[in-house]
């Protein structure tokens, strides 16, 4: 679909350019006729032709406008209106509040208000149930304040940066890639006059934005004449800005620290203790839920790109030689949208693939990675994420860190486009090795053999004396390169030395070939008895951006329906009971003491059953009260309209059943905790048809 | 008891001083005899008398040592051994891990390892159930990163400090009061030679430590010659150090921010929205659970004084003219240890008081404050805090902020003494007023009258022209002072002006009296119709230090019992199922496939029922496996020893019952969720008497 739209856009741009030159030509023709004082009919005919051409041009412009604005790249016009409506509802009902609002707020910081906070705590409780409890993970809870040495080892102190440009006059800062992106998008969407070639160029810039170096970004900004958005003043060259919030631990000023940018490092540094806690056995997973911080240069995308957010991360430690998973078969049969590397490279779109096939074909690197992809799919769809707007996208080779074995993002489509909400990466042994090196504490696992094994080991022994004579100051680098050979390289060299006596050998640290002779190195295979195999475990890391998941959930759950009178549109969040901020409301139909007492009795029973609910004894019409709670996503409403029976209403169908007062709380408990579906309740209890005046005004 | 111990200590110090001078005198006597070449029998007799005196002195020293070290002030010797044992167990079983241990850690930062993290999440879940859900509180979730303006308004930027001294040579920093405290305690406990007067002085310093100014602290440190503990180098004068972690928001460096020192401010700044969300009605409570930060100068007291911790705070907003609470009667009958101000001042100890009496006598300021004291008592004892080691201590007048109406701390006794774990304060309107002033946004509530009320209002109208003539440049300050008079002052002035025509009036901003004449101000009472009363709500704030509660819970739950063989002491945590990190273990008695399959079947049923558990199929002896999980506080163990039946063992009684395999999970679920007590289960199922070899080795 996207490819088709792109083709249309291109042909429309070409047609527009042709029509423009036709208009220009005809305009010249008219002017010539006038200058030459041609006859009136002749001039009128030329003008009529000109007008016809202008109309045709306008028609093409309209089509192009529609194509790039709506049917095209990201359908931004309708999506923005939808988002505005959702966000207004969320802020009006206090799902979110811009933090420190009375002080005019701080960009990129939001509070969860009461219903938002309840949704968040439901999502986290389900995450604990679905991952920690079901998988017997070792949950830990580490501080946010982190000393520099830890984040130096992890690479964050050196590499956790974005490229920034500064407007020198005012000191305002911008993300360099964002300015370039905005410029390109603006041109593509609003400037109908650009040529198809120019459009292609801009699209190429957008596609390769993440790969541009500081120099390349700076050159493009200069080339396009991009200035500061607010003041139009010139900008500095792009330079890296570290995104961690920095602080100082203790009063001396001598211990720099940072607010952690992720929770994972707290797990890695505890590997040794956790491995011991698990009886020195692999595989096992540790998990952590907590705040993480990112001092964004200029946060945009509202609730999606914030400076403080809740992460839930899993680090599953596994033997690199055995990445099978005992429960893999439970998810292998799932089928959902996947977007492998090859499909992305060849311009195709995501497609429904059976997870088991993706693993067996090698598209997904290993069973454990596949298992977590499946579990993440179940987690998200259970929360209420639309499965048709959820895809698993594999990282392209250039997106992945050099050490990663494979990486998939769970992306959810919302009004901002496809948003990365969960990253599932096989990070190999990188993190444990980095901390082993920096701390000097060996973070390894061991497989004990049931009986000692005789193993053949490759032994490479450089003869330093000969190498020193031959290579002088380069000797050390040659020795290191020889020792770093893998088995195949070493055995090839051995064969060549034995047959030819000399071999060309590339030393990458020298950047050239050297000649290795037979007397310079001995290569042999030796047999040894070993009692165990010691290795650095691989880690498979599913990392959940909880705030992003919740925001997408809000968009996927939101819909509007006409009020009964048909004169207004009412907002509804179709949250499943699992995530709904409140499970149930209790309404006396009218203000009457008896009804209020019954309502309070039911409220007490619900509290005892641990069901969050709200009692509303205002005299507002029942229709208004329903509408108010539909907008909070409350799935069930109990209305008291007589002594012995109440009605229970389901939010989306608006259907109602009649239930005995003393049963009401337990029916809602069953519905809320998923022991019963509404369909089951609907089949068991008498239906209630409200008089037309009593519902939905 | 403490008073008796103090009396003993004093008399012992006196006796010791007397005996010392007797020893000195006798020593002199011996020397004189020798110098005068007295007869040998005479000298021997004198030496014998000297030795007798020395023995007597040693005897008194031993008693004094015992008194101050064990039976005295804080019984520190046994308590420290107990604490060491508990802390060792907690760290060995990964309840806690010193954060970033492989990098030699950071003082004041700890991780919760798997069982600790589970306990914490159980405590927080119960907190949500007990407070948020049962009281319909509005829970919010605000960021930790906070802009300076908010904490300037709250007073933290200016006043959230500790006094610090620095050793100039090395730059090492210490808390000034801690050094003085250590010095006094050390002297009192180890230096047996100090006089009773000196001991009394040191004790007075300890008692008034919190009230000392920087100058007074500095003078004491000089007087006692206190130097840096590690190097013995001299120290700087004490100066204030702000305890907030500072950072910078955004890339410009122009927006200072802090990591919040408490969660409360996030609620106060949202008051207006939350009040609206609650239908513009009082009272209501908002709540927040989250991380808070305190950059301690040099953290001590291990797990109790840390640099990052979880707070759970409630802000209950109430009409200052009506602090009653609708559910107060539910807690009024509770009776527990309270320690009112008067009892503290008169040297008495805490005593059991009925909460209702404390409120009706006015010891506790109001019903709402009393209600929360009662709810906190229920919360803590439900978790497993020993009710005999829990007291509610009222703040002394000099401990409370000037604006506070009343303040009580829930203090829990542990090996460190009585530790403040929950503060329950009536902060009156202070916080909302402070943010109203700083932000310019009016944080008030209104009581709408059912019909307009006629009210008499005091009107003070300074006559600016006359005041200007009389006071020139001081006119503005005089006007402000006149307008700021309260009702009584104004009416007094009115009466004086009417009778005498002139009155002396103190203007504090000028620092002097001025003469106010009759023509300079009119004061009258006017009748007005008002439709509502607008006021700043009072706030009652229960604030929970979750980490401290958990640590005290660990100490209160810990006990040791001999192993069956009697050759070692086994550790047990007697957590109630509510807080136990894991509710149940599943053990096949021996390694046998059939047993393992049954164990896995039960494990699946437990997972489905949402009961956290651990399956252990190692071949370790059953007694060892029981001991291992007793030390984690796991309350129930299911042991599979035949096909159709299993045994369920309770941790503390070690009693076992026999239960059908398919019932096991539901019995443990009922026990874990409090639907059934162990006594009930014990009465319903056949008892199992294990063969002596199969249990507790």
The whole-angstrom separation of Cα A285 and Cα A313 is 10
Starting at the edge strand found earlier in the chain, the sheet holding A161-166 runs A173-175, A161-166, A239-242
User: Do residues A540 and A526 both lie within one domain?
Assistant: no
Bridging pattern class, strands A161-166 and A239-242: antiparallel
CB contact under 8 A, A248 and B246: yes
User: Do residues B129 and B274 both lie within one domain?
Assistant: yes
Q: Does B173 touch chain A (CB under 8 A)?
A: yes
Question: Is the CB of residue A9 less than 8 Å from the CB of residue A68?
Answer: yes
Percent of chain A with pLDDT strictly greater than 70: 96
φ and ψ at A28, to 5 degrees? Answer: -60, -40
Top residue of B250, B441, B674 to mutate, by most chain A CBs within 10 Å, is B250
The whole-angstrom separation of Cα A221 and Cα A272 is 48
User: Do residues B18 and B28 both lie within one domain?
Assistant: yes
Distance of residue A611 Cα from the nearest chain B Cα, in angstroms: 8
User: Do residues A583 and A671 both lie within one domain?
Assistant: yes
The whole-angstrom separation of Cα A129 and Cα A150 is 30
Which residues of chain B neighbour A154 with C-beta distances below 8 Å? none
Q: Does A194 touch chain B (CB under 8 A)?
A: no
Which tens digit of pLDDT belongs to each residue from B581-634? 999 999 998 888 899 999 999 999 998 888 999 998 888 889 999 999 999 999
Closest CA to B370 of B416, B316, B411, B420: B316
Q: Does A27 touch chain B (CB under 8 A)?
A: no
Q: How far is CA B521 from CA A514, B508, B631, in A?
A: 103, 18, 78
Residues 245-284 of B with CB under 8 A from A: 245-252, 254-255, 257, 259, 266, 269-270, 272-274, 277, 279
- Domain range for B39: 2-73
Query: What's the pLDDT score for residue B564?
Result: 80
Q: How far is CA B60 from CA A59, B63, B65, B189, in A?
A: 110, 5, 8, 14
CB contact under 8 A, B252 and A172: yes
Q: Which residue of B has its CA nearest to A308?
A: B143
Query: What CATH number did the domain enclosing B520 receive?
Result: 3.30.720.200
Confidence band, pLDDT 50/70/90 cuts, at residue A7: low
Distance of residue B114 Cα from the nearest chain A Cα, in angstroms: 5
Which residues fall within 8 angstroms of residue A246, CB to CB, at 6 or more apart?
Answer: A256, A257, A258, B247, B248
Burial of A334 (0-12, 13-18, 19+ CB in 10 A): middle
Closest CB to A173 among B113, B252, B286: B252
User: Do residues A526 and A591 both lie within one domain?
Assistant: no
Which residues of chain B neighbour A264 with C-beta distances below 8 Å? none
Question: Can you spell out the DSSP letters for B380-393?
Answer: HHHHT--GGGEEEE
Which tens digit of pLDDT belongs to each residue from B376-394? 999 999 999 999 999 999 9
Query: What's the pLDDT score for residue A476?
Result: 87
Question: Is the CB of residue B421 less than 8 Å from the CB of residue B411?
Answer: yes
A443 has pLDDT over 60: yes
Query: What's the pLDDT score for residue A193?
Result: 82
Query: What's the pLDDT score for residue B354?
Result: 97
A71 has pLDDT over 50: no
**Stretch A295-323: mean pLDDT:** 93
**Stretch B644-668: mean pLDDT:** 95
CA torsion, ordered B226, B231, B236, B237, to nearest 10 deg: -20
Query: What's the pLDDT score for residue A295?
Result: 95
The pLDDT mean for chain A works out to 90
Question: Can you spell out the DSSP letters for B185-213?
Answer: HHHHHH-TTS-HHHHHHHHHHHHTGGG--
- Please tell me the number of Cα atoms within 13 Å of A506 on its side-chain side: 3
Q: Does B449 touch chain A (CB under 8 A)?
A: no
> A94 is written with which tokens?
């206090």
User: Do residues A494 and A611 both lie within one domain?
Assistant: no
Domain limit, last residue, from A73, A94, A120? A73
SS3 A206: helix
Query: What's the pLDDT score for residue B583?
Result: 96
Question: Can you spell out the DSSP letters for A244-259?
Answer: SPEEE-STTS--EEEE
A257 located within any domain: no
User: Do residues B554 and B646 both lie within one domain?
Assistant: no
Which tens digit of pLDDT belongs to each residue from B479-501? 888 888 888 888 889 988 989 88
Q: Does B124 touch chain A (CB under 8 A)?
A: no
Task: Determine which of A145-149, A621-625, B326-330, B372-376 has the lowest per-residue pLDDT on average.
Answer: A621-625
CB contact under 8 A, B139 and A121: yes
| Structural domain count of chain B | 5
Burial of A558 (0-12, 13-18, 19+ CB in 10 A): buried
The whole-angstrom separation of Cα A229 and Cα B553 is 57
Which residues fall within 8 angstroms of residue B182, CB to CB, at 6 or more apart?
Answer: B229
Q: How far is CA A553 from CA A378, A387, A576, B165, B591, in A?
A: 14, 11, 11, 53, 47
Query: What's the pLDDT score for residue A309?
Result: 97
Question: Is the CB of residue A17 less than 8 Å from the CB of residue A196?
Answer: yes
Query: What's the pLDDT score for residue B536?
Result: 96
In total, the C-beta contacts within 8 angstroms joining chain A to chain B are 222
Q: What's the per-residue H, E or C state across B592-647?
A: CHHHHHHHHHHHHHHHHCCCCEEECCCCCCHHHHHHHHHCCCCCEEEEECCCCEEE
The whole-angstrom separation of Cα A348 and Cα A142 is 43
Report DSSP state, residue B235.
B
> B240 is written with which tokens?
């204030």
User: Do residues B418 and B309 both lie within one domain?
Assistant: yes
SS3 A86: helix
Which residues of chain B neighbour A293 with C-beta distances below 8 Å? 144-145
The pLDDT mean for chain B works out to 90
Which tens digit of pLDDT belongs to each residue from B531-559? 999 999 999 999 999 999 999 999 999 99
**Stretch B35-46: mean pLDDT:** 89
Query: What CATH number did the domain enclosing A549 receive?
Result: 3.30.930.10
A512 located within any domain: yes
> A20 is written with which tokens?
């423009």
Domain limit, last residue, from B242, B258, B278? B242
The whole-angstrom separation of Cα B338 and Cα B409 is 10
The whole-angstrom separation of Cα A684 and Cα B481 is 74
CB contact under 8 A, A308 and B133: no
B77 has pLDDT over 70: no
Closest CA to A445 of A463, A435, A458, A432: A432
Closest CB to B111 among A266, A293, A441: A266
User: Do residues B467 and B546 both lie within one domain?
Assistant: no
Question: Can you spell out the DSSP letters for A8-55?
Answer: HHHHHHHHHHHHHHHHHHHHHHHHHHHHTT--HHHHHHHHHHHHHHHH
A371 located within any domain: yes
How many other C-beta atoms can be found within 10 angstroms of the C-beta atom of residue A193? 11
B519 has pLDDT over 70: yes
Which tens digit of pLDDT belongs to each residue from A610-620? 899 999 888 88
SS3 A71: helix
> B575 is written with which tokens?
């957590």
Among A126-130, A498-502, A588-592, top mean pLDDT goes to A126-130
CB contact under 8 A, A146 and B107: no
Distance of residue A110 Cα from the nearest chain B Cα, in angstroms: 7
Q: Does A619 touch chain B (CB under 8 A)?
A: no
Q: Does B562 touch chain A (CB under 8 A)?
A: no
The whole-angstrom separation of Cα B242 and Cα B161 is 4
How many other C-beta atoms can be found within 10 angstroms of the C-beta atom of residue B422? 25
Task: Determine which of A163-167, A359-363, B282-286 has the lowest per-residue pLDDT on average.
Answer: A163-167
Which tens digit of pLDDT belongs to each residue from A416-442? 999 999 999 999 999 999 999 999 999
A255 located within any domain: no
Query: What's the pLDDT score for residue A118?
Result: 96
> A455 is written with which tokens?
């193993």
User: Do residues A395 and A478 both lie within one domain?
Assistant: no
User: Do residues A493 and A419 both lie within one domain?
Assistant: no
Q: Does B149 touch chain A (CB under 8 A)?
A: yes
Which tens digit of pLDDT belongs to each residue from A574-615? 999 999 999 999 999 888 889 999 999 999 999 888 899 999
Q: Does B307 touch chain A (CB under 8 A)?
A: yes
B71 has pLDDT over 60: no
Cα A193-A194-A199 angle, rounded to 5 deg: 145
Top residue of B90, B92, B103, B255 to mutate, by most chain A CBs within 10 Å, is B103
Query: What's the pLDDT score for residue B102?
Result: 96
Domain limit, last residue, from A544, A562, A580? A562
A171 located within any domain: no
Query: What CATH number did the domain enclosing B181 receive?
Result: 3.30.40.230
Confidence band, pLDDT 50/70/90 cuts, at residue B37: confident
Task: Determine which of A100-104, B123-127, B195-199 has the lowest per-residue pLDDT on average.
Answer: B195-199
Confidence band, pLDDT 50/70/90 cuts, at residue A501: confident
Task: Determine which of A63-67, A73-77, A397-401, B98-102 has the lowest per-residue pLDDT on average.
Answer: A73-77
A10 located within any domain: yes
> Radius of gyration over alpha carbons of chain B, in Å?
33
Query: What's the pLDDT score for residue A78?
Result: 82
CB contact under 8 A, A171 and B254: yes
User: Do residues B142 and B167 both lie within one domain?
Assistant: no
Top residue of B102, B241, B259, B432 to mutate, by most chain A CBs within 10 Å, is B102
A238 located within any domain: no
């Amino acid at each position: 679909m996207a490819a088709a739209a792109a083709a249309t856009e291109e042909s429309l741009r070409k047609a527009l350019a042709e029509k423009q030159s036709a208009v220009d030509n005809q305009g010249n023709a008219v002017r010539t006729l006038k200058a030459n004082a041609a006859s009136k009919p002749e001039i009128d005919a030329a003008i009529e032709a000109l007008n016809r051409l202008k109309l045709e041009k306008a028609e093409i412009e309209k089509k192009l406008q529609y194509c790039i604005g709506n049917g095209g790249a990201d359908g931004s016009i309708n999506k923005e209106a939808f988002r505005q409506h959702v966000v207004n509802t969320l802020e009006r009902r206090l799902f979110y509040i811009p933090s420190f609002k009375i002080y005019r707020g701080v960009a990129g910081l939001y509070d969860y208000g009461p219903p938002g906070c309840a949704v968040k705590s439901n999502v986290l409780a389900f995450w604990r149930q679905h991952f920690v409890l079901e998988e017997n993970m070792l949950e830990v809870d580490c501080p946010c304040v982190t000393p520099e040495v830890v984040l130096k080892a992890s690479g964050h102190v050196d590499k956790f940066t974005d490229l920034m440009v500064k407007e020198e006059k005012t000191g305002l800062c911008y993300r360099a890639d964002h300015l370039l992106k905005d410029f390109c998008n603006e041109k593509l969407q609003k400037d109908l006059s650009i040529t198809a070639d120019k459009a292609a160029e801009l699209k190429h810039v957008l596609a390769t934005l993440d790969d541009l170096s500081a120099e390349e970004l700076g050159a493009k900004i200069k080339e396009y004449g991009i200035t500061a958005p607010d003041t139009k003043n010139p900008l500095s060259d792009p330079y890296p800005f570290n995104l961690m919030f920095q602080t100082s631990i203790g009063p001396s000023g001598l211990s720099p620290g940072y607010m952690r940018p992720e929770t994972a490092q707290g797990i890695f540094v505890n590997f040794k203790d956790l491995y011991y806690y698990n009886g020195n056995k692999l595989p096992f997973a540790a998990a952590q839920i907590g705040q993480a911080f990112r001092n964004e240069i200029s946060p945009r995308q509202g609730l999606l790109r914030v400076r403080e957010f809740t992460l839930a991360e899993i680090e599953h430690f596994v033997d690199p030689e055995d990445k099978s998973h005992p429960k893999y078969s439970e998810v292998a049969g799932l089928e959902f949208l996947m977007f492998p590397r090859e499909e992305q490279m060849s311009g195709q779109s995501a497609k429904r693939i059976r997870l088991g096939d993706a693993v067996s074909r090698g598209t997904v690197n290993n069973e454990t990675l596949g298992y977590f992809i499946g579990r993440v799919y179940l987690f998200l769809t259970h929360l209420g994420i639309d499965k048709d707007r959820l895809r698993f996208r594999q990282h392209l080779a250039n997106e992945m860190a050099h050490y990663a074995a494979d990486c998939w993002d769970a992306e959810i489509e919302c009004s901002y486009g496809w948003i990365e909400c969960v990253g599932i990466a096989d990070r190999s042994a990188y993190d444990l090795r980095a901390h082993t090196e920096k701390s000097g504490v060996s973070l390894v696992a061991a497989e004990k053999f049931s009986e000692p094994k005789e193993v053949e080991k490759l032994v490479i022994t450089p003869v330093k004396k000969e190498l020193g004579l031959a290579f002088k100051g380069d000797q050390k680098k040659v020795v290191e390169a020889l020792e770093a050979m893998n088995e195949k390289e070493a055995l090839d060299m051995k064969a060549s030395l034995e047959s030819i006596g000399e071999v060309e050998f590339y030393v990458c640290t020298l950047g050239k070939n050297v000649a290795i002779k037979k007397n310079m190195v001995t290569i042999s295979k030796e047999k040894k008895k070993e009692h165990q195999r010691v290795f650095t475990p691989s880690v498979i890391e599913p990392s959940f951006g909880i705030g992003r998941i919740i925001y997408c959930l809000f968009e996927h759950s939101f819909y509007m329906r006409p009020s009964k009178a048909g004169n207004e549109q009412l907002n509804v969040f179709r949250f499943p009971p699992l995530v709904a901020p409140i499970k149930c409301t209790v309404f006396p139909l009218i203000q009457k003491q008896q009804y209020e007492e019954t309502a309070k009795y039911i409220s007490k029973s619900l509290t005892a059953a641990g069901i969050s609910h709200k009692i509303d004894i205002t005299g507002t019409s029942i229709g208004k009260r329903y509408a108010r709670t539909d907008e909070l996503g409350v799935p069930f409403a109990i209305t008291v309209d007589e002594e012995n029976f109440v009605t229970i209403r389901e939010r989306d169908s608006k259907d109602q059943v009649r239930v005995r007062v003393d049963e009401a709380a337990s029916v809602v408990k069953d519905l809320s905790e998923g022991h019963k579906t509404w369909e089951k309740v609907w089949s068991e209890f008498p239906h209630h048809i409200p008089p037309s005046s009593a519902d939905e005004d």
